[in-house]
Amino acid sequence: MTQRLVPEVGQVVTVFRSRLRPDADGYADHADQMDALASAMPGYLEHKSFTAEDGERVTVVTFADRAAHDAWGSHPEHRVAQRAGVEAYYEEYSISVGSVERASAWVRGD
């Protein structure tokens, strides 16, 4: 069975929307490195990425709290990746960050 994240008040969720440049060489390897680094951060809960038919990519990242989220945002290796994104990988991107104010979950069979 797939592990399920149960949302909780106080978690911090980032929605990262982007479009890659056609010449984004090296992006996949850099993204894999950032996935591994983020997953090892204290307070990291999960992230999932999706690509739409029109090429837009969406990544949803969840941290346990604001401090954990901010530690990831300012991590030196993540900052290098952010600069590489602007310089070499992304045609465009947007970031939305929010704190969970209300949370619930339901699963058939529970």
Name the β-bridge partners of 97: 14
SS3 95: strand
- In the predicted model, is pLDDT for residue 71 greater than 90? yes
Please write the tens of the pLDDT for every residue from 13-67: 999 999 999 999 999 999 999 999 999 999 999 999 999 999 999 999 999 999 9
- Domains in the chain and their CATH numbers? 12-99 (3.30.70.100)
- pLDDT tier for residue 1 given thresholds of 50, 70 and 90: very low
CA distances 93 to 28, 37, 39, 49, Å, are 16, 21, 22, 14
Q: What is the pTM of this model?
A: 0.90
